Structure 1
Amino acid sequence: MHTVDEIVEIMASQGLRITDQRKTLARLFADTAGYLTPKAIYEYMGKSYSGLSFDTVYRNLRVMEELGVLEQVMFEDGVKFKLHCKGHDHHHHMICLQCGHTLPVTFCPMNELDVPEKFQVVKHKFEVFGYCEQCGAQTGDEASKGKL
């Protein structure tokens, strides 16, 4: 996990102005192992910064994602953010739908696709959703164990 100082340094090195709100965001993500919804982040930030708008929070999340500080993942119930994986370059994830435990996919599946010559890929995402061993065992659900 990144420390607050490492997160602030990444933002500063990319030219982002370091405000108290951004330091608070850095602290929140440094202290959180899993994924956070924009609404949960807004509610957390609202406790310290009265008058803060949801748009401001979301804009900061997007800027931090564009700078590579955060990763954004689209879940069935909406978008969530987490701190960018430390020490990993381009990679993808396997994500547990119950506990949010995340494992890196150590190769890029994009290399396996047969992309038509007339299509220019500029960006891609690849996440695999399922249940980790512990959560699959807890639910007892046959689908979570891959035994449909």
Structure 2
Amino acid sequence: MEIILKQDIKSLGEKDDVVNVKNGYGRNYLIPQGFGILATTSAKKVLAENLKQAAFKQDKIKKDAEGIAERLADVKLSIGAKAGESGKIFGAVNTIQIAEALKAKGFEVDRRRITFETDPKMIGEYVANLNLHKEVKVKVPFEVVAE
């Protein structure tokens, strides 16, 4: 029996895979639990069209991310923070501050896509990693300055 999986199943396959399973496993477990649907010819055509549209959307998202990455190549940010005399800042610079600084420069980046190589807890220069797409990653240098 051929089944189209609706979600990832560890020992069987990933979402949108067409897999062969025993009749009882498909009829009594996968289909009633909503983990898969019967792979008829019409269901396969719908799956092929959905995969084609999803690939087109992913390609567009990747191209947009590459365009943003090219424009971010020469951007350097400056983040102000309250600091003591030794150069240690009170608190830490977080991803929200980086996202706001990027927004001020005209780049809309979700804060959850920003990570740091080292946590910025002192005045100095650091690097923020922006994960714009699973295949497009950009390193943006920023400087923490005392206010």
TM-score normalized by structure 1? 0.22
- In terms of fraction of residues, the more strand-rich structure is 2
| Structure number, greater radius of gyration | 2
TM-score normalized by structure 2? 0.22
